[in-house]
Structure 1
Amino acid sequence: MRLDEARAMIELLAMLVTDPRTGVLIALLLGAAVFDYRSFRIPNWLTASGLAFGMAWTILVPPLPGAGWSFPVGGVMTGFIAMFPMYMLRAVGAGDVKLMAMAGSFLGWHDTLFALLTSFVVGGVAAVAFAACHGMFGRLLDNTRQLLCHLALSAVGGQRPAMQLGAHQSAGKLAFGVSIAVATIGNVVARQLGFI
């Protein structure tokens, strides 16, 4: 490890100790990932308390000069608006939408959007790995093809699309809250280390 990399790691650890915003966000994301992995549910008390802390702390101690109330509100709205259509299509759960909105209260709109996009990449890789490990890769590809055809036909026909498969057709279920946690924590750490 080079000297500048070691210095960046020490600064990251110092930031976690001195900036409650980052430490609390990471703790909340890890807690949500554990709950989601174990029960496929993210408790409302976790997302609501995280949202309240993120909003209050970010308004009282802005992360950037001149960042006022619009910084956390922009993050919350970005997380919610970007995830809500996925919830309506039943691709993610309501807890995932609330978790991304909660993370947005800490991150602001720009970092929330980046974390969201990274979450979809992490979730996609996890889905492919899960299907491959369980011998369901062919089913995953077939389901993806069917859903894309259905979505295209629904769009052409002017109908509301639905992304539901029967239980016998599913290639499995993943906790997307874990993907959100991994991606968001990875973005926070990468930004602190100067990689993004």
Structure 2
Amino acid sequence: MTLPLLPPHPVPLCVIVLAIVAASTDLTARRIPNRLIVLGLAVALAVQMSIHGPLAGALDWLSGAACGFALLLPFYLLRGMAAGDVKLLMMIGAWVGPALTWRIALATFLIGGLWSLLIVLCRGRFARLLANLRQLIGGLAVAPLRQPSLIDARSESVGSIPYGVAIAAGTLGMLFAAAL
């Protein structure tokens, strides 16, 4: 499998800075500021339009943002991540386009999944994780017949991670891999 080409400059540098800032605020405050997302989206649109022309740049920006949004939205709807994480990948997608966004999401899922599993195992919460997964899968089967929430509000969480860090790690990894 070949990676898409590295986006033209200044895209990689801007994405690296934005991903690191988002990860650091997610680590310290457990949130990703909307100001950062809006700034990143606005500058990405301007850069894409200056690199590719107004129409092609706007379409690249929109297709990348839509890809990032669509890839994480189901996890937000299942209460598996926060809205800031969805918006962060949407912003990164606006910078790098849909092909690289898809690969960033895959790397992010791998990093975030392994990190989460390690935390669950270290905290001795694996049995609770399995019970929550059974409830989620059972909720998917009867979701049209019941309440909109697939997970019972009384379910006990096995913990959470600042997923912006996983998104930043996946982004940096894919950017460096594409540069090789």
TM-score band by shorter chain is: 0.7 to 0.9
Indicate how the Cα distance of structure 1 residues 163 and 59 shifts in structure 2: closer, same or farther if over 3 A, else same: farther
Deviates further, 101-110 or 141-150: 141-150
Matched, 1:143 2:132: yes
Query: What is residue 172 of structure 1 aligned with on the other side?
Result: 159
Aligned residues: 174
Query: What is residue 19 of structure 2 aligned with on the other side?
Result: 29
Q: Which blocks of at least 5 consecutive residues in structure 1 are unaligned?
A: 1-14
Give the distance between the partners of 1:121 and 1:149, measured in 2 at CA. 24
- How far did 1:67 drift? 4.9
Matched, 1:46 2:36: yes
Matched, 1:55 2:45: yes
Higher relative contact order, structure no. (Cα contacts within 8 Å, ≥ 6 residues apart): 2
Give the distance between the partners of 1:36 and 1:84, measured in 2 at CA. 18
Residue identity (%): 35
Picking from 74, 88, 95, the partner of 1:106 is 95
Give the distance between the partners of 1:58 and 1:75, measured in 2 at CA. 11
Q: Which blocks of at least 5 consecutive residues in structure 2 are unaligned?
A: 1-5
Query: What is residue 75 of structure 2 aligned with on the other side?
Result: 86
Runs of 4+ residues deviating >4 angstroms = none
Partner of 1:120: helix, strand, or coil?
Answer: helix
Computing the radius of gyration over CA atoms, which structure comes out larger, 1 or 2? 1
Query: What is residue 111 of structure 2 aligned with on the other side?
Result: 122
Contact 1:90 1:162 in 2 (8 A): no
- TM-score if structure 2 supplies the norm length? 0.85
- How far did 1:161 drift? 4.2
